[in-house]
Amino acid sequence: MDIVNSLIFVGTEGKYHDHEGNGKYITEMLNETENIKADFSRDYNVLADGLDKYHSVLFYTDIGELTQAQETSLLNYIKSGGGFFGLHTAAASFRESDGYHGMLNGFFNGHSPYMDFTVSISDTDHPITNGLSDFEAKDELYYLKHNPDSSHHLMHAYDHTKDETHVMAFHHNFGKGKVFYFALGHDMAVLENPSFQEIIRRGILWVANRI
């Protein structure tokens, strides 16, 4: 398998997550993975002029604003075949950017208390989830504004505080590119979870058309 060059892009505007520390941890974890070379960046300028050298981009961002040039460049990158992986607060980012959220098919709409819950595999045949079992996670259980008819669901979780089930991971195409969203990722309690890490690795490879 050829090396996958991936950008881990981290926003720093949010105050409830250690995006920089968590993002660097994810970057280091990916760089210990065979066939993945990951770069960490907080520089928004890379979005407007620097994506072409990457096979995939992972957004671990919060709040923030995209200029028109940055949003257009990102969307064109994906439409042309670049892979996009949105993690956790990527759904809470760039709230005025309709094009970004249209691409993602997810917009943050609250979350449960920080708690333990079970992440259940909805599709056991997909390359990202094949062979994985349901697993326990300690995190925020995200609620999303999301069109279920536009994406294929891979994982879900039951929220006992509201007696509701919510999608935790989904994918779809955007132009020639693949988009994958995974709702977990609040802090180290879940970042160190082996199932979480395996999904991150597979997600990077899948959006880059390697698995």
**The two structure tokens encoding residue 99:** 């094009």
CB contact at 8 A, 21 and 72: no
Provide the pLDDT confidence category of residue 14 given band limits of 50, 70 and 90: low
Percentage with pLDDT > 70 across the chain: 98
Provide the pLDDT confidence category of residue 176 given band limits of 50, 70 and 90: very high
Whole-number pLDDT of residue 63: 86
What pLDDT digit, counting tens, does each position of 123-164 carry? 999 999 999 999 999 999 999 999 999 999 999 999 999 999
Helix axes 194-207, 19-31, angle to 10 degrees: 70
The CATH code that applies to domain 4-107+167-207 is: 3.40.50.880
Model pTM greater than 0.85?
yes
CB contact at 8 A, 29 and 197: yes
3-state helix, strand, coil in the chain (%, to 5): 30, 35, 35
Pairing of strands 142-145, 107-111: antiparallel
Boundaries of every domain in the chain: 4-107+167-207
Whole-number pLDDT of residue 17: 83
What pLDDT digit, counting tens, does each position of 28-54 carry? 999 999 999 999 999 999 999 999 999
